[in-house]
Amino acid sequence: MKAYVFPGQGSQFVGMGKPLYDTNSKAKELFEKANQILGYSITDIIFNGTDEDLKQTKVTQPSIFLHSVITYMCMSEKPVPGMVAGHSLGEFSALVAAGTLNFEDGLKLVYKRAMAMQKACEKNPSSMAAILNLDAEIIDKICNEINDIVVVANYNSPGQVVISGSNAGIDLAMERMKEAGAKRAIKLPVGGAFHSPLMEPAREELSNAINETHFNTPICPIFQNVDANDNTNPETIRENLIKQLTSPVRWTASVENMVKFGAKHFIEVGPGSVLQGLIGKIDRNVATEGIN
């Protein structure tokens, strides 16, 4: 059974999607529609901007969403997903692929999410760090012992966990995790503490927009970040999407559950190959490929 997965923030690069725009009339039409919906030429930034332009959360998120979704919609053979999932931002791409959201509503929600997160980051200076080769239970324990905001943001794969929180809390947690035996603790070049309580203002703002958006029953199960379960109920999907901004991304559990559900072939649609690498570490017996 084929599982389609969609990447999140961090996979972007200048020029992504340009060959598709130049050679596929449907792709060009969708990119131009996106410019109209957003009210500015995001294609100019994606195709001709700088790395710094593209790193802004308010630009990065809609850019990756557009690249992923338009690539999916323009595949030469119509995709028939047995299931879908997306990492953080990628969950919105997955929802469009599953037919739960249409292209226009998906883009509007992603842009709303990006703007709300950018504001939350500016309000609360904060950061994230990747912790390598340390047991997740030890990481959880250290985060809970620190008298500041530090939480696990991403359970990415065995041996790779990302923490999120205040600058002081992250610095202290990195020290303690290295003392506890972590191979490496690497501060990430992001603008804030995604998937932590510091995103609560963004969650509240986004929840209003999500509640005003129509959600269809998906054509296949979507394994969501919040619970890692095979969800098909539109209201459950909606509730999980609202919780996502302040909850950890349970990617390891999601992939494990997708394999139990019958996934044997994972296809990453969108920029980069991050998810293929993570899936390979979670289960070496499944096939992975990328379409970008």
pLDDT at 78 over 90: no
Dist. CA 260–CA 237, nearest whole Å: 20
Identify the pLDDT of residue 54: 85
Distance of CA 189 to the CA centre of its chain: 16
Average pLDDT, integer, range 195-221: 96
Dist. CA 237–CA 210, nearest whole Å: 10
Please pick, among 63, 88, 127, 254, the residue that the annotation labels catalytic: 88
Q: Is 196 among the residues known to form the active site?
A: no
Q: Assign 249 to helix, strand or coil.
A: strand
Q: What is the DSSP string of 165-182?
A: EEHHHHHHHHHHHHHTT-
Single-letter amino acid code for the residue at 51: D
CA distances from 22 to 35, 43, 93, 270 (A): 16, 12, 22, 17
Residue 10 pLDDT level (bands cut at 50, 70, 90) = confident
Residue 57 pLDDT level (bands cut at 50, 70, 90) = confident
User: For 160-200, how does the pLDDT look when each residue is reduced to its tens digit (9 = 90+)?
Assistant: 999 999 999 999 999 999 999 999 999 987 878 999 999 99
Q: Is 88 among the residues known to form the active site?
A: yes
Please pick, among 11, 127, 157, 195, the residue that the annotation labels catalytic: 195
User: For 105-146, how does the pLDDT look when each residue is reduced to its tens digit (9 = 90+)?
Assistant: 999 999 999 999 999 988 888 999 999 999 999 999 999 999
Identify the pLDDT of residue 58: 84
Dist. CA 105–CA 111, nearest whole Å: 10
Backbone angles phi, psi at 219, to 5 degrees: -80, -10
Average pLDDT, integer, range 216-226: 98
Domains observed in the chain: 2-122+197-291 (3.40.366.10), 125-187 (3.30.70.250)
